[in-house]
Amino acid sequence: MMPGEEESPGGDRDGGLVLLHGPKSGSTRKQGCDPFAQTQRSKLQHRRARINQQINKEMRMRAGAENLFRATSNHKVKETVALELSYVNSNLQLLKEELEELNSSVDVYQNDSESISVPMIPLGLKETKELDLLVPLKDFISEHYGEEGVLFEKEIKEFMELRQAMRTPSRNEAGLELLMEYYNQLYFLDSRFFPPTKTLGVFFHWYDSLTGVPSHQRALAFEKGSVLFNLGALHTQIGARQDRASLPGLTQAIDAFQKAAGAFNYLKENFSNAPSLDMSAASLTMLVRLMVAQVQECVFEKMTLLRAQNDFLARLQLAQEAARVEEVYSLVHQTMGQPHVKDYVPFSWTTMVHVKSEHFKALSHYFAAIALCDCPAPSDAELLEQEKAFLQFHVTMPEGPSLRVLLQDPEERRKLGKAHLKKAIMKHEEAMRIHGLCKILRKMDILQEVLSFAHKRSLSKYSEIDHEEDFFETGEAPDIHPKTHQKPEIKSPNFSQVKVTDLFHRLGPLSVFSAKNKWYPARRVHLMRGENGFGFTLRGDSPVLIAGVIPGGCAAEAGLKEGDYIISVNGKDCKWSKHAEVVQLLKSTGKEGVDIGVITLQGSECPKAQVDRKAAVMSSGSGMLKSNKENSRKSLMNSKSASTLLVWSKKSKRSKKSTYSGVPFTAVGDNEAMY
């Protein structure tokens, strides 16, 4: 379900999103980063934007050349066009390689701490073109709402400024809130200006995050999905910049990568038919798994800070945590090798994931060896607990003596530890070999330093425990059973954390004044109070509904009809007025009467037989002056489907129930009031 269950002006929560409608609450628009600020990250994003524009230009040239090649029959022209096409394709390939190098610049997004940590993989933000909505929205307001479009220029410009700001969000909580605010504001734009039967006539242009290939669609769902993708991408950048040498930094990194996984997973589950590869189901599945793997890596690093290094059980846990990290990175590497993803993901990403898989496999065997070789044999009191832990430690039990003998005999522990170290060294060397295959990763000094340090540490430990008189052949160490004490959580976006106000609330409550509803032109009716009052019953709030009209009464003679909504009283706008406020305005009228502005929704008229039957009862009945909020926006929104799936090719499914149901009632009940 998309965010945006409509709220009452009080801002009550419904459906996980707080949306405010009342005119008292103004939109608190956040500011994006200064687009001209010369930070490393902004320079990278500027280069990305420039490459995107060049790719767009080359693709247009290629499309034109291909059309000409197909259309012409002149052999000489065909040769010239073919030569031009080869030139354009060469340019596109060079631009693609340049963009891939940018996507591989993970070091720019890392923290500035002096501590050595394995780099994480962040995503660059999707770029978009500027969008001028001033004329289309003004035209729609005039045509659909019957209002002067020029009177809403301030609101339209405020929305456009919000969109411009969200193109350059800051890499912190304020940037996340900015994206969330714009994303939530799109719900109102969709409800106000995107009817189910026609388009607004504007295109939303976005560039693929990894390839720079441009895509455009009229569907607002494309805009929503692209913003949601950038929300996840920004979380990855925030996670990558944390100082993971400290517990607070690790906690924040875990939270950021979990939220990134949640954003990509939400995008995958709620959108389909994506026009760009970065938002295809295959790519999003890969990104979710990549984020989960990076969370698992942070959990391992957290364990290394928390656990006592000289404790046997703690080192076994570290070995199993490392094995779990290797397992999830192996899954990511496997996903990156699938047909729809293999040629799309940067080679440096695939290589880094493969390197990490081998690196953490090596670490799992290293910590197993350290537990066996550096920790003393257990006492009788410790033996049972260690035996139980070791029983579940290996995937297959190691060959040799029984488990109890193995744990109590220092020589047997050394032999198994040596086997684990041998395997660790082999995996370290494999990680370094794979790392050397990628030109971009070879330039990454910090990764080279981490791999080299781990390799030397294992070699040093192997030399320490290797004895000259060892004539036995070192056996094959069994793999370590992966296990984690903190399972990664995929945190879906919390849309309720940012309160947004409908910028176009002056158009009226969405329950009536939305793009899906149509109404007849507003009518102005002059009413005089008769002996029995005005001769109608009212119901509901914002706007107040004329629930019934007494035949022969003042209201009927003036032309009011059942199902009309009161939008003004004596020139005062009443679209947002409560029931009691409208009643008070009516009661305060004198002998000169009152001017009432009303509208009638198309398709909301009751059948004539129902009107006549109800009128017969109303003419002889009387009711109590009570009111409720039966047609309030909250109750209407509660009738909406709770699981709406938005797709790229069409807008969201809207509730087909009209605001006024037209169900007949046989008397003036407690939920209505007669005047």
Residue 502 has pLDDT above 50, yes or no: yes
| Contact (CB, 8 A) for 268 and 300 | no
pLDDT of residue 15: 38
pLDDT tier for residue 29 given thresholds of 50, 70 and 90:
very low
CA atoms 314, 319, 325, 328: torsion sign: negative
Burial code (b: 16+ CB inside 10 Å, e: under 16) for 495-516 equals bbebbbbbbbbbbbbbbbbbbe
Residue 516 has pLDDT above 60, yes or no: yes
Residue 352 has pLDDT above 90, yes or no: yes
Return d(Cα 494, Cα 177) in angstroms, integer: 11
Percent of the chain exceeding pLDDT 90 equals 36
Please name every residue paired with 673 in a beta bridge, in sequence order, or none if there are none: 538
Q: Distances from the Cα of 51 to the Cαs of 246, 394, 461, in angstroms? A: 37, 50, 49
| Contact (CB, 8 A) for 229 and 261 | no
Return d(Cα 365, Cα 369) in angstroms, integer: 6
**What are the residues whose beta carbons fall under 8 Å from the beta carbon of 531, sequence distance 6 or more?**
none
Residue 40 has pLDDT above 60, yes or no: no
Token pair, residue 12, equals 């009550």
Nearest to 675 by CA among 538, 572, 557, 539: 538
Mean pLDDT of the chain: 79
Q: Tell me the mean pLDDT in the region 88-93.
A: 72
**What are the residues whose beta carbons fall under 8 Å from the beta carbon of 117, sequence distance 6 or more?**
110, 111, 244, 245, 301, 446, 450
Q: How many CA atoms lie within 13 A of 669 on its CB side?
A: 10
Q: Distances from the Cα of 581 to the Cαs of 135, 281, 453, 561, in angstroms? A: 36, 51, 75, 21
Residue 106 has pLDDT above 60, yes or no: no
Nearest to 457 by CA among 345, 377, 367: 367
The model's pTM: 0.76
pLDDT tier for residue 50 given thresholds of 50, 70 and 90:
confident
State the greatest distance between any 2 C-alpha atoms of the chain, in Å, as a whole number. Answer: 119
Return d(Cα 666, Cα 663) in angstroms, integer: 10
Return d(Cα 481, Cα 319) in angstroms, integer: 9
**What are the residues whose beta carbons fall under 8 Å from the beta carbon of 74, sequence distance 6 or more?**
none
Task: Report which secondary-structure segment, H or E, holds 225.
Answer: helix 220-240
Q: Tell me the mean pLDDT in the region 157-162.
A: 95
Ranking 8-22, 68-82, 376-390, 500-514 by mean pLDDT, the lowest is: 8-22
| Contact (CB, 8 A) for 317 and 303 | yes
Residue 194 has pLDDT above 60, yes or no: yes
Q: What is the DSSP string of 440-489?
A: HHHT-HHHHHHHHHHHHHHHHHHHHH--TT--SPP-PPPPBPP--SS---
Question: How many other CB atoms are found less than 10 A from the CB of residue 427?
Answer: 24
Residue 75 has pLDDT above 90, yes or no: no
pLDDT tier for residue 453 given thresholds of 50, 70 and 90:
very high
Q: Is 538 helix (H, G, I), strand (E, B) or coil?
A: strand
Q: Among all chains, which residue has been given the structure tokens 């996507």?
A: 103
Q: Tell me the mean pLDDT in the region 72-100.
A: 74
Q: Tell me the mean pLDDT in the region 419-445.
A: 90
Residue 57 has pLDDT above 90, yes or no: no
pLDDT tier for residue 533 given thresholds of 50, 70 and 90:
confident
Q: Is 342 helix (H, G, I), strand (E, B) or coil?
A: helix
Please name every residue paired with 519 in a beta bridge, in sequence order, or none if there are none: 601
Q: 276-285, 324-333, 476-485 — which one is most confidently predicted on average?
A: 324-333
pLDDT tier for residue 26 given thresholds of 50, 70 and 90:
very low
Q: Tell me the mean pLDDT in the region 211-225.
A: 89
pLDDT of residue 651: 38
Residue 422 has pLDDT above 90, yes or no: yes
**What are the residues whose beta carbons fall under 8 Å from the beta carbon of 441, sequence distance 6 or more?**
104, 348, 351, 352, 355, 435, 447
Beta-sheet pairing, 204-207 with 214-217:
antiparallel
More confident residue, 650 or 208: 208
| Contact (CB, 8 A) for 346 and 104 | yes
Q: Where are the alpha helices (DSSP H) in 487-588?
A: 554-558, 579-587
pLDDT of residue 105: 58
Tell me the per-residue pLDDT of 221-246, one tens digit each, with 9 for 90 and over.
Answer: 999 999 999 999 999 999 998 999 89
Ranking 60-64, 198-202, 215-219, 483-487 by mean pLDDT, the lowest is: 60-64
Return d(Cα 598, Cα 158) in angstroms, integer: 30
More confident residue, 17 or 69: 69
pLDDT of residue 437: 87
Q: Is the backbone peptide bond immediately before 543 cis, with ω within 30 degrees of 0?
A: yes
pLDDT of residue 630: 34
CA atoms 553, 555, 560, 561: torsion sign: negative
Q: What is the DSSP string of 163-216?
A: HHHHTS--SSHHHHHHHHHHHHHHHHHHHHH--TTS--S--EEEE-TTT--EEE
Token pair, residue 51, equals 């490459």
pLDDT tier for residue 100 given thresholds of 50, 70 and 90:
low
Question: How many other CB atoms are found less than 10 A from the CB of residue 663?
Answer: 7
Token pair, residue 560, equals 């009011």
Q: Distances from the Cα of 23 to the Cαs of 179, 540, 630, in angstroms? A: 23, 19, 22
Q: Tell me the mean pLDDT in the region 44-54.
A: 67
Ranking 93-102, 266-275, 514-523 by mean pLDDT, the lowest is: 93-102
pLDDT tier for residue 649 given thresholds of 50, 70 and 90:
very low
Return d(Cα 545, Cα 534) in angstroms, integer: 15
Q: Tell me the mean pLDDT in the region 64-89.
A: 79
Question: Terminal CA-to-CA distance of the chain, rounded, Å?
Answer: 42
Nearest to 504 by CA among 176, 137, 244: 137
